[in-house]
A and B are shown apart, each in its own frame.
Chain A
Amino acid sequence: MTTPSLIWANSGDSHVLEPQDLFFERMPRALAERMPRSVKDPDGRWETLHIDGNSWRRRLPTRPLTDETGLSQQDKAPGAWDPELRLKDLDGEGIWAELIFPSISMWTSSLTDPELLRTGVSVINDWALEFQQRSPRFVCTAHLPLLSVEDTVAEIRRTHEMGFRAAFFPVEPPPSLPKFNHDVWEPVWDVLEETGMVMAVHIGTEAHDAGVINGQYHRGPGGAVLNYFETSFGGQRITAQMITSGALERHPGLRVMVSEGGATWGPFLADRMDEGYRQHWSAVRPKLAKLPSEYLFTQVYASFQHDGSAVAAMSAMGWRNVCWGSDYPHIEGTFGHTQSTLRGLFANADPAVRERITVGAFAELFPHVPPVPVA
Chain B
Amino acid sequence: MDDDDSSLHETPAEFMNAVATLTGRCDGQSVIRGAQGYAVGCSCGWRATAATGVEGLRAAVAHTGDEA
Q: Which residues of A contact B (CB under 8 A)?
A: 17, 20, 36-38, 41-43, 45-49, 53-59, 61, 64-65, 74, 81, 103-104, 106-107, 109-110, 202, 204-206, 208, 210-211, 213-214, 217-220, 223-224, 227-228, 230-231
Contact A58–B33 (Cβ < 8 Å): no
Which chain B residue shows the least CB distance to A260?
A: B11
Q: Which residues of B contact A (CB under 8 A)?
A: 1, 3-24, 26-34, 39, 53, 56-57, 60-61, 64, 66, 68
Contact A204–B11 (Cβ < 8 Å): yes
Contact A41–B66 (Cβ < 8 Å): yes
Q: Which 7 A-B pairs have the closest CB atoms?
A: A208-B12, A227-B17, A223-B21, A217-B20, A204-B13, A210-B30, A55-B31
Contact A47–B7 (Cβ < 8 Å): yes
Q: How far is the CA of A53 from the CA of B40 in the complex (A)?
A: 13
- Residue from B21, B32, B60 in contact with A210 in the complex, judged by beta carbons closer than 8 Å: B32
Contact A61–B6 (Cβ < 8 Å): no
Contacts of B12 on A, CB cut-off 8 Å? 106-107, 109-110, 204-206, 208
* B34 shortest CB reach to chain A, Å: 7
Contact B57–A74 (Cβ < 8 Å): no
Given A55-B57, A59-B27, A211-B30, is A205 in contact with B11 using a C-beta cutoff of 8 Å? yes
Contact B1–A57 (Cβ < 8 Å): no
Contact B66–A228 (Cβ < 8 Å): no
Given A36-B8, A38-B6, A211-B34, is A56 in contact with B24 using a C-beta cutoff of 8 Å? no
Contacts of B56 on A, CB cut-off 8 Å? 55
Contacts of A228 on B, CB cut-off 8 Å? 17
Q: What are 7 A-B pairs with beta-carbon distances under 8 A?
A: A36-B8, A48-B57, A55-B31, A55-B53, A56-B28, A107-B8, A204-B14
Contact A208–B57 (Cβ < 8 Å): no
Q: How far is the CA of A57 from the CA of B28 in the complex (A)?
A: 5
Contacts of B33 on A, CB cut-off 8 Å? 53-54
Contact A58–B13 (Cβ < 8 Å): no
Contacts of A42 on B, CB cut-off 8 Å? 68
Which chain B residue shows the least CB distance to A171?
A: B13
Which chain A residue shows the least CB distance to B19?
A: A58
* B45 shortest CB reach to chain A, Å: 11
The residue among B9, B18, B24, B66 with the most chain A CB atoms within 10 A of its own CB is B9
Contacts of B64 on A, CB cut-off 8 Å? 46, 59
* A273 shortest CB reach to chain B, Å: 25
Contact A56–B30 (Cβ < 8 Å): yes
* B54 shortest CB reach to chain A, Å: 9
Contact A227–B57 (Cβ < 8 Å): no
- Residue from B5, B34, B66 in contact with A64 in the complex, judged by beta carbons closer than 8 Å: B5
Contact A218–B20 (Cβ < 8 Å): yes
Q: How far is the CA of A218 from the CA of B60 in the complex (A)?
A: 22
Q: How far is the CA of A243 from the CA of B58 in the complex (A)?
A: 47
Q: How far is the CA of A318 from the CA of B67 in the complex (A)?
A: 58
Contacts of A107 on B, CB cut-off 8 Å? 8, 12
Q: How far is the CA of A37 from the CA of B23 in the complex (A)?
A: 25
Contacts of A213 on B, CB cut-off 8 Å? 16, 20
Q: How far is the CA of A54 from the CA of B54 in the complex (A)?
A: 10
* B1 shortest CB reach to chain A, Å: 6
Contact A58–B6 (Cβ < 8 Å): no
The residue among A36, A49, A59, A206 with the most chain B CB atoms within 10 A of its own CB is A59
